[in-house]
Structure formats: structure tokens, C-alpha cells
Amino acid sequence: MFGKRTSTAESAPARPTPVAVPAFRGVGDMAKKTPPTIIEPSLPHAAEAPRSDEYYVTKSMIFGALIEAIDLSQLARLDAESAREEIRDIVNEIITIKNIVMSISEQEDLLEDICNDVLGYGPLEPLLARDEIADIMVNGAMQTYIEVAGKIQLTNIRFRDNAQLMNICQRMVSQVGRRVDEASPICDARLADGSRVNVIAPPLAIDGPVLTIRKFRKDKLTLEQLIRFGCISPEGGDILKIIGRVRCNVLISGGTGSGKTTLLNCLTHYIDAGERVITCEDAAELQLQQPHVVRLETRPPNLEGTGAVTMRDLVRNCLRMRPERIIVGEVRGPEAFDLLQAMNTGHDGSMGTVHANSPREALSRIESMITMGGFSLPIRTIREMIVSSIDVIIQTARLRDGSRRITQVTEIMGLEGDVITSQDLIVYDISGEDASGRIKGRHRSTGVGKPRFWERARYFGEDERLAQALDASEMKNEA
């Protein structure tokens, strides 16, 4: 089936041995001698078990022969499993022809490695396969960082050069029909497993292509887990469950990677199964468990720069879809206005996240999104809108030890003059650091008495649980 691959297993001995491909060791050497093909073998990297120089010499020799023997464009048309089979067959054949001696396990390892280079994302494959990695950050060919357990670490993963890295970026974004090159050097995409990819290439990125991957976590964290990790106290967790259940309008505020989307996903768990929920996201991340959920996703402009569907388009359309709750993955622009309106017009229990470092800042961000969105409304009107729509702001943070905490649960109270008033229900107090650099602190209830959503809780029959959670939280304060 492969144009260039005429020999079969039986005729293998008669097949002309591919021209000897010079072995290489160093980067410079490779650059000179590798045939001009879009795929290159990856360099050693230490996230895997260290391999000998000999391994890489053998690998590049086999790799070269493989490239000679197969038609890559046809390979691309096969499904992943068949393509892998095809590569395995040819590599096994090459090993036999060239009399390469290796153990079965070495051979398996090599096959896997070569398949990753040809079919997958080369040096990134081992990182993509590790579930505990949250983010992968590639700053040009020579520097790759990962984030594990909230900490950013440098890896030994390297690409042959920026051209190889660029090819891999290209392959990632071409899956969703996009292109990244000098003419359009910024690109967002999503991998088949749901991971989000951003590429910014030269000339905008000065030292080579920069690839950022936010890995999709299949086993989303639950509120119970967040409680176990100390992200919120058990009593605080109970209060959050009630907030989710009794249809408070919630804004989750926090920095990048602070756990906003994770928390939003947790809260949706407490939505009643009978409610019609519509989610709007830039790249679908939320995983709602309810049966009646409609998921919408924005669309970037196509190569000609047209056809974009913005978050605002989605949220506005949502309102015509008879939603009971609207969930906006990330509020960034003029859709803030539509979300507040939705919250105000009977779509209680709507939620969204916003990028801000405190509940106060979240409010002023929302305000400026509306003013910048071209709505010529007096500030006071915007603030009135905010006060009558948002019930609770939950602040998330990634602390300097890498841990993620809910640092404030704040209620919006009202307007005094032109100032929005609020009260904290729960705050996180940092008391210090232990010997290993882990931050010590605790969640404290502020003892404000009845929260504003008390009536709402009563309506949903959750008032007693709310009272218990508040009491328990206060008793802990005194202890």
C-alpha cells in the first residue's frame, strides 16, 4: 500500500539496503547530515531513563532508513494504530537487514521511541503521557519547563533545533485546521485529548517558537479532594456546596493556574439534575455531570481572518436558548455585560471566572470590561447592575509553595454612595512556613452572622445545613 515500499517480508533480503545513513552524535552534526525531511529524531532527554550514546546512534541510523523506506504522506492517512503497525513492521525489517543486535526490550523501547517521533509529538510525548504534569512550557528548542504539584521545574527535554520544534507545533495546530508560521505567528489549538495549546512563533517570539500546553485532566478534582488538600476547610467546603446548590450567582476570581476552572467544575457538581445548563468556553474544559447540559465553544477567525465567534456572541445566543443557568468559562470582555444581565433576569445560579487578584479587583475588572465594551452607561448604573446580579465572589490563589487555596469567599452586599460594599464570609490567614517551606495557615470564618443568601438557602431547604457550617466554622475560630 505504500508507494515507496515495494518489498514484502518475503522479498526483504533482495531489497536494496538503504544507503548508509551516517550516524550522528552532536546537534551540529545532525543538522548537516539528516536528509531534508520534516521529521527528525529527537535528542536524548532525561525525563526518561538515560540512554547510551550507542542507542541514539542506532536510532538515528534506523530512523534514516525508515524515512527512506516509507511514504510519509500516505502514512499520515492511516489511523494511528495502523500507522504504528506499519512503522513497526518496517523498523523490524530494518533491524533484521542491518543485523542490529538488541534485546527484545531494547527493541520495544526503540520502536516506541521512533513511533513517537514519526507519529506523535516527539520529545514531548513522555511529558504528555504523564498525568501529574499540569502544564508544559517550551521556550525554544533548548528549554522545556513543566509544572507539577504547583511547582515549575526545568526538564532536560530538548529538541534538535527550532525547526523541529516548529514542525511539532505545526502538527499540533494542523489537527484543528490551523496554521502557524511567520505570517500568522500566534495560534491556539486543542489536542485530541482535550489539552489546550498555544503557540507563538518568531518573529514575535525572539528566541524561537514558544509552545504552552495546559494539559487536560481527565480525572477532574472534586470539592472533597480540594477539602482534603486543604484548599478549603471542611466547613468552608460545605458553604460552597450550598452556594452551588441554592443558585447563587458566582464569580470565581484568581490568577492563571490558580484553580478557577477546577473550582467552577466542582461547584457545577451541586447543580440540580433537572436544570438546563448552558456552558460557554473558549476551549471546552468543564465536565458537568448533569444530563441536561449544552456545551458551546468560541471559534477563532479562520486563515482569512473571518468567521470568528466570540464569547459575547455565545452568551447572547445562550439567552435565546431558554437556559436556567449559564456558565461562562472565562469572562474577559464585553460578554461581562450579557452575563450580568442574564444573572439579573432569572438565570440565577449562573457562574463565571475572571482573572483578578482579589474580589475587589474582580469587581473593577468587570466594571472596566463593560465600559471598554462600548456600553455608554454611567458608572453608577454599572455598579447597580453588579450589585444586583453577583452574589458571591470566590478568590483562588496559587501560593508561593505551589499549593492552591481558596483565600476568600466574599459576598456582595450593596451600594453605599458609589461604592460597592462586600463582606468576607471566609478568609485564609497565613501564619508562616514550616521547615520544608510549606505555607501554614487556616481558613477562618469572619463571623458576620447571616449571609445575604440566607433566604435563598431557606427556600432550597438548605438553611439548617448552612447554619451548621457557619457555626462549625466559628467554633473552630475560637478553638
Ligand X SMILES: Nc1ncnc2c1ncn2[C@@H]1O[C@H](COP(=O)(O)OP(=O)(O)O)[C@@H](O)[C@H]1O
Residues binding ligand X (CB under 6 A): 134, 217, 221, 226, 229, 231, 254, 256-262, 404
- Name the binder of 262 from ligand X, Mg ion, none, CB < 5-8 A by kind: ligand X
Give the orientation angle of helix 80-97 with respect to helix 53-69, to 10 degrees: 110
Smallest distance from ligand X to CB 254, Å: 5
Smallest separation (angstroms) from Mg ion to the CB of 178: 21
94 or 277: CB nearest Mg ion = 277
Q: How far is the CB of 244 from ligand X (least distance, A)?
A: 16
Nearer to Mg ion, 97 or 134 (CB): 134
Rounded to the nearest whole angstrom, what is the least distance from the CB of residue 231 to ligand X in the complex?
A: 4
Region of 255 (left: φ > 0; alpha: ψ -120 to 50; beta: rest) is beta
254 binds, among Mg ion, ligand X, none (CB under 5 to 8 A by kind): ligand X
The angle that helices 260-268 and 234-245 make with each other, rounded to 10 degrees, is 60
Q: Report in angstroms how near the CB of residue 217 gets to ligand X at its nearest.
A: 5
Please choose which of Mg ion, ligand X, none residue 397 contacts, taking the beta carbon within 5 to 8 angstroms, the exact cut-off set by kind.
none
Residue 221 contact, options Mg ion, ligand X, none, Cβ 5-8 Å cut-off depending on partner type: ligand X
- Regarding 164 and contact with Mg ion (CB under 5 A), the answer is no
Q: What is the DSSP string of 240-289?
A: HHHHHHTT--EEEEE-TTSSHHHHHHHHHTTS-TTS-EEEEESS------
Q: Which residue has the cell 542507542?
A: 55
DSSP helix, strand, coil percent of the chain (3-state; round to 5): 35, 20, 40
Choose from ligand X, Mg ion, none: what does 60 bind? Cβ within 5-8 Å by kind. none
Count of residues in contact with Mg ion, rule CB under 5 A: 2
Least separation in angstroms between residue 261's CB and Mg ion is 3
Name the residue nearer to ligand X (CB basis): 160 or 365. 365
Which cell numbers hold the place of 145?
A: 519547563
Among ligand X, Mg ion, none, the one that 413 touches (CB under a kind-dependent 5 to 8 A) is: none
Residue closer to ligand X by CB (options 262, 408) is 262
**CA 307 and chain centroid, separation:** 24
For 63, the grid coordinates are 530512523
Determine phi and psi for 371, rounding to 5 degrees: -65, -40
Of the pair 182, 219, the CB lying nearest ligand X is at 219
Residue 45 or 215: which CB sits closer to ligand X?
215
The grid coordinates of residue 311 equal: 464569547
Residue 168 C-beta: closest distance to ligand X, Å: 22
For residue 261, state whether it binds Mg ion (rule: CB under 5 A).
yes
Closest to ligand X by CB, 77 or 400:
400
Segment lying near Mg ion (by CB under 5 A), choices 90-98, 220-228, 255-263, 442-450: 255-263
Cβ atoms 136, 257 nearer than 8 A: no
Min dist CB 329 to Mg ion, Å, is: 7
Please tell me the distance from the alpha carbon of residue 326 to that of residue 312, in angstroms, as a whole number: 13
Q: Of ligand X, Mg ion, none, which one sits near residue 231, judging by CB under 5 to 8 A according to partner kind?
A: ligand X
Return the closest-CA partner of residue 358 out of 422, 282, 453, 268.
Answer: 422
Whose Cβ is closer to ligand X: residue 229's or residue 459's?
Answer: 229
Closest to 29 measured CA to CA, from 18, 12, 43: 43
Nearer to ligand X, 30 or 354 (CB): 354
Least Å from the CB of residue 262 to Mg ion: 8
Q: Which does 359 bind (CB under 5 to 8 A by kind): Mg ion, ligand X, none?
A: none
- Cβ neighbours of residue 149 under 8 Å, at least 6 residues apart? 132, 402
How many CB atoms within 10 Å of residue 15?
14
Rounded to whole angstroms, the Cα distance separating 246 from 325 reads 12
C-alpha–C-alpha distance, residues 182 and 201, integer Å:
7
448 binds, among Mg ion, ligand X, none (CB under 5 to 8 A by kind): none
Copy the grid coordinates of residue 421. 460594599
Q: Can you give the binding site for Mg ion, defined by CB under 5 A?
A: 260-261
